[in-house]
Amino acid sequence: MNMHDLKNKTRQELEQLLKDARQELQELRFKTVNAQLKDVHRIRVVRTTIARIQTVLQQQAATTQASSAIQPSTNS
């Protein structure tokens, strides 16, 4: 999944994707230990996806925090 797709998702969707990706990574690691995994490159792809999701979540949190910090002052 690329960054453009991730940026268009809501926080709940991103959190669900992150949960699913972490579950998949765990399953891939178990398969690696048991010598059942044929496509070891998939581990790297899933780790990269997790990093991208976390980056977008952090960006959204920073944007939310910045927008709430910038409020017009009402001096009378």
Beta-carbon neighbour count of residue 21 at 10 Å? 21
Q: Which residues, 6 or more positions from 53, have their beta carbon under 8 angstroms from its beta carbon?
A: 6, 14, 17, 18, 21
pLDDT in tens, 14-68: 999 999 999 999 999 999 999 998 999 999 999 999 999 999 999 999 988 888 8
pLDDT band at residue 72 under the 50/70/90 scheme = low
The pLDDT value given to residue 2: 85
Q: Where are the domains positioned within the chain? A: 3-65
Give the CATH number of domain 3-65: 1.10.287
* Pairwise CA distance, residues 28 & 45, whole Å: 11
The pLDDT value given to residue 71: 66
The pLDDT value given to residue 76: 53
Q: 0.85 cut: is pTM over it? A: no
Which three-class secondary structure state does DSSP give residue 1?
coil
